[in-house]
Amino acid sequence: MAGLMALIVWEGIGQPLLDFAFGEHPIALRLRLLAEQRRLGERVPALRQTLDELRRTQADTADFLPPAPTALASAQMQDYVGGILRPLNGRIASVEPLTLSDDQGFHRAGLRLKLDLHPDALPALLHRLEYGRPRLFLAGLAIKAKADDLSIVMDIFGYLPPGAS
């Protein structure tokens, strides 16, 4: 009988106290969960601020060419223009890299492109260059009609992000 009484006391008082002490009791688990939720809740304003900063920074850098040395940025710019021309059934006939001086502390990469393009596609090309990302700027444009197409020579450039050259 004494053994049974000890077992009842152990199961009713001893074991729950040990479970609570070592965090296995449902109340202890709930308290730990609430404490973790409180810690996470305290981090929310800082995380929102970080997210806003990342969004702002990302938006600021979307206008720049990808960070790379100037020669690689020029090659990426050529690929970008080629991607614009493909659906317009245009083609790049020749490419010449341009050496451009820095502009107010920003490095620039530039190309002189000779393009063959149907006249109806010229407005779409200029629109995509103007409104696309990264931002490309037209520095010179010469257009000659030949047969059913246009022969276009254009100087374009883009800015590298700060710290890239």
The CA distance from 115 to 113, in Å, is 6
Give the per-residue pLDDT at 125. Answer: 94
Residue 141's DSSP bridge partners are 154
Task: Give the model confidence (pLDDT) of 103-134 as tens digits.
Answer: 777 888 999 999 999 999 999 999 998 888 88
Q: 0.85 cut: is pTM over it?
A: no
- Report percent pLDDT > 90 for the chain: 35
What's the mean pLDDT when you consider all of the chain?
83
Closest by CA to 154, choosing from 73, 90, 105, is 90
Q: What integer is the mean pLDDT of 55-65? A: 70
Q: Is the pLDDT of residue 57 over 70?
A: no
Q: Is the pLDDT of residue 154 over 90?
A: yes
Give the per-residue pLDDT at 53. Answer: 79
| E strand or H helix at 29 | helix 26-61
**Residue 114 contacts residue 82 (beta carbons within 8 Å):** no
**Residue 161 contacts residue 64 (beta carbons within 8 Å):** yes
All domains of the chain in start order, with CATH: 2-61 (no CATH), 70-159 (3.30.70.60)
CA distances for 100 relative to 68, 90, 109, 129, angstroms: 16, 26, 7, 19
| Other C-beta atoms lying within 10 Å of the C-beta of residue 7 | 11
Q: Is the pLDDT of residue 90 over 60?
A: yes
Joined together, the tokens standing for residue 12 give 């009713």
Handedness of CA 66, 67, 68, 71 (dihedral sign): positive
| E strand or H helix at 37 | helix 26-61
Joined together, the tokens standing for residue 149 give 């197409």
Give the per-residue pLDDT at 111. Answer: 94
Residue 57's DSSP bridge partners are none
Give the per-residue pLDDT at 55. Answer: 67
Using pLDDT thresholds of 50, 70 and 90, give the confidence band for residue 4.
low
